[in-house]
Amino acid sequence: MSAKGQEILQTSLPELRAMGPEYFHRFFNPQDMEDYLPRIMRLIHENLDDAFVSFFQQVRAHPGMDWEWYLSATRIFMRNDEGAPTHCITLAMPIHPEHHITMKVNRLLEENNFLRKYKHIFAALTHREKEILRLMALGSNSADIAAGLNISEKTVSTHRRNIKNKLNAQSAYDITRFAQAFDLI
């Protein structure tokens, strides 16, 4: 790790080495690691010359600090005489909070965190519930949904209630946010 990286993490190279795998859990958001760590392991396993993995990651020097976003890229840096990877290098650049694109990146990253958090709930919705969720998010009332799907208003009302319960939705905003995040609208 570079001197700058050690400065940001407020630690030394010997301390980092002594941490072993705890290094990852101490400085990096575990939800992010669930996304990029398997891709890095696949990179190492496939061992292709020009391959790399790029990803956003949240980093903090200690638990009391806020997470900061970094754009990072990892590639194989060295191989042994048999051609097997021995070292990887990761370049990590902070996303400057005042850059014009930062707000958009933050919205995308927040949506990505939302998707991860609620993907199991979305997967539990039936096909019909997803159809009705989309129509609810578009502002359709029960009568319009019933007519469009050729089902009774009572059935639509039951689906609407079940959807709200499953999503723990308290408002139209919650419905719209969920439908938007999962590309229903």
Q: What is the pLDDT of residue 69?
A: 83
Measured in whole angstroms, how far is the alpha carbon of residue 157 from the centre of its chain? 33
Mean pLDDT, residues 94-111: 77
8 pLDDT tier (thresholds 50, 70, 90) = confident
Q: Check: CATH 3.90.76.10 for 102-181?
A: no
From the options 3.30.450, 3.90.930, 1.20.1420, 3.40.190, give the CATH code of 3-94: 3.30.450
Residue-wise pLDDT for 59-86, tens only, equals 888 888 888 888 899 999 999 999 999 9
In the chain, which segments carry CATH 3.30.450? 3-94
Of the pLDDT bands very low, low, confident and very high (cuts 50, 70, 90), residue 43 is very high
